[in-house]
Every structure is written in structure tokens, then in C-alpha cells.
Amino acid sequence: MKEKDILLDNIRQGLPLGIAEQVRLTLMLCAPAILAQLASVLLQFIDASMVGSLGAGPSASIGLVSTTTWLMGGFCIALGQGFSVQVAHKLGSNDPSAARIILRQGLLVVVIFSLILSLTGISIASVLPHWLGGEESIRSDASAYFRMYALFLPAMQLGFFGVTMLQCSGDMKIPSLLNILMCVLDVIFNFFLIFPTREISLFGLEFTMPGAGMGVRGAALGTGLAEAVTACLVLYFLLVRNRDLAIVGHGGSFRPTRDILSRAFQISGPMWLQNLVMRGAYVASTLIVAPLGAVSIAANSFAIIAESFCYMPGYGMADAATTLVGQSLGAKRRDLAKSFSRITLYLGVGMMVSLAVVMYFGAGAIMSLLSSDPDVVALGARCLRLEAFAEAGYAASIVTFGAFVGAGDTKVPALLNLISVWAVRIALAVILTPKFGLMGYWIAMFVELNVRGALFVWRIRGDKWMKTSLTDQ
């Protein structure tokens, strides 16, 4: 048995874990997730640069609807975690049979939900760019991109669900490898779908490279196909191969039961509210930024992608925190859950601050990888240099939220996000953006991320977040 599995079993069996073992287990769980995040960011850069090479207009069309895609994706993630957190607690209490019951019910619910969400997205695709205040010249591409995104929502939902289930069981390696594969497939599909058939020179040889020439539509189709392939593989490893959760060979009903659904929505409900709060704020930010023109929209979109360079360790550590805190509390070991929450917080902040230094000094070079437009590059680089000073606060909010989710504590974090994002970020953006352009919006975001980090650190210093209906079972 691998060392990681031995240490996880020690949690479930009530055996002692020293600080060194806790740190080692944390790093073993987060390392694959961080690697996957790194591959995702690098390939997002390549993906975005493919569209960026078409000009500011196509880039702006994707940027216009990106906040809405984040909103819908957030609903998918939140629903899956309503079931995966329960699974983590059941595995922590050494009850894999109960975990599989939750898995089966969750699988049915997310399929139904994703189909409804997909049909909703398709139905609003033609009018969404108008609602968001986009320029007439980019509305057609924006609608086409969003329609294709909505069509593949069920595949994305199943992928999210499978990944969170694998992670809560302690398997970070398979989800990470599959995430890397999805990114690679995305770039390959986009390479052939975005660009037309053209002549290419490689190592002195000239040859014809076939292409569909679909532009923005090709970018959406390529991403959707990559998600569909990956979702199939994720479900295979979850339902057939996973040592704790495989349901093949284990009989059982998929029919939802009231107690499991109730607990799932107790967790997911506040996360949906948070998603509306956070992603709704991003949509509101689009309305604030959109009147600034195509250059500002493109710079804003590319700068957000570039900033994700710093997110990698934060989200990897958050995944580890959810698993470790969830299984520790499922085993009725609150002191261990508290210890893991601190270890993941310290490591996550330290890693993101280190990358923020790199982002500050390399802002111009990073932006130039995403766009060939000098105005877009210059404006985006200024935004990144400012935001480097907010990464510590952002790291704190990302990692601590992962710990809160592991405990099933989602109500108070949702309220803190509501206060932070709307009362600080959007309020300041409304005041500053008309005066300072895109930089005004990023100043508002800089202030808000630091405020949010302070609020979340204040929350995790106490013990109330570990006392939920899920932990009191």
C-alpha cells in the first residue's frame, strides 16, 4: 500500500499523525493537483493566444460571456460538492458502503440538473451578449461561443462530479492526470478547429495543415470535445477502478433519499448563493468594463487568465484541505482537522506569494504570450503588477474555503463573500472605473481580495466552522 493510503487509513482508524506526517500527507495530496493546475494554466495560455492571434474582437467576444460561463460552471461545481463532502465524511468513518450510496444518488441528480442548465443556456445564447452590453460587432461570435459552451455543459458537470468524488477519496493523481489530458486535447482540437487550412513551415519543410477555420466557434467546440472525452475517463476510474467508491460489482439503487438530498442541499445551497454572489459580481463587472471598449475587455480577460498563474498552488491546497478536513471530521478528530486547516493555509499562502513575485516582474512578458496587440499587453501588465500585492489575501480565502467545505460549513463563508464582493469590490468599481478606466476596476479588486482574505482568516481561527450538522451525525 502506498504511503499516502497508509496515512489516510491512519486518519480513519484513529491512529496518531505527527506534524511531519501531516505536512507530508498534505504535500502528497496537493502536488498532483498543483501540477494539473500548472498544465491547465500553461495550456490556457496557449488556448487564449490562439484566439488572441485573431485580434482583439474575437478575444473580446469570449471575454464578454466568460463571466456567465463561470456562473454556470460554479453551479455545477457546488452541486457536486454537496455529495462529495458527504462521501469524504463517510470514508473518514470507514463506511465505504454508505459512501457508494451517496455517490449513486449524486450521479443521478447531477445528470438531471446539468441537462436543465444546458437547455437554459442554449435558450438565452442569442440575447446574452446584448444583456451584457457588448458591442454589436462582437455579439454574433459571443452568442455562438456561449451556445456551444451550454451544449457541452452535461459533460463538464459529470467531469466536475467525478473529479471531486475521486479527490474526496484521497485520489488526487488520476484527476490531475486527466485534467492535464483534457488541456492537451483542448489545444489539439482548437489547433485544427479555430484556424483555416494553411501552409506551415517546420524545420525547413513546407506542408499544408488542414483546419476548419471556425474561429471563436472552433474554440468552444474544441473545449467541449475535450471535456466530453475526459468526463468518460473520469467516470471509468471512479465507477470501475476506485478502491473505495467503485460501484461496478456493488448492487444498489440510484433513487434519491430525503436525508442524503437534504444534506447535499444544505451544503450546496449556500454554495449556490455564493456562486450567485461571486459570479453575479463578475457579470456585474462585465457590465462595468464592457463600455470601456474591446481593448479593455480583452486586457481584462487576458489579465485574469494570466493571474491564474498564481492560483495554482492555492486551488491545489484547497482540494487537499477539503479532503483532509472532511475525512478527519468524519473520523471525529477535530484537533487533526484544525491542524490540517493551518498547514494548508500556511503552505498555500507561501506558494502563491512566491508566484506573485514572478508575476510582478514578468507581467509584460506573460501578457505578450496571450495577445499581439500592444495596447492590450500594456494595459493588462499594469493590472497584473497591482494584483500581485493581493495574492496573499486571495490565497488565504481560497485555501480556507476548501477547509470550510470539508467541514460542510458553507453558510457563513457565503455571507462573508457577499459582504466582501458586493460591498467592497462592486461598490468601489462603480466609483473608480469611470474615473480610471480598467485600472479603476482592478484597484477595487485589489482592495476586495485583501479584505476577503482577512475575513476568512478571522473565521478559521475559531472552532465554530467545524460544528455543522454533518459533523454532528
Residue type, 38: L
pTM over 0.75: yes
Contacts of 67 (CB under 8 A, 6+ apart): 279, 282, 283, 285, 286
**Could you give the CA distance from residue 454 to residue 473 in angstroms, rounded to a whole number?**
31
pLDDT of residue 225: 95
Q: Could you read off the pLDDT of 161-172 as tens digits, one per residue?
A: 999 999 889 898
Q: How many residues does the chain have?
A: 473
pLDDT of residue 48: 65
- Mean pLDDT in each 10-residue stretch from start to end of the chain (473 residues)? 84 90 91 73 65 76 81 86 92 92 96 96 94 86 92 94 92 88 88 87 79 88 93 96 90 89 90 77 81 87 84 88 92 94 96 94 90 90 95 96 92 90 93 94 96 96 82 57
pLDDT of residue 120: 96
pLDDT of residue 471: 56
pLDDT of residue 439: 96
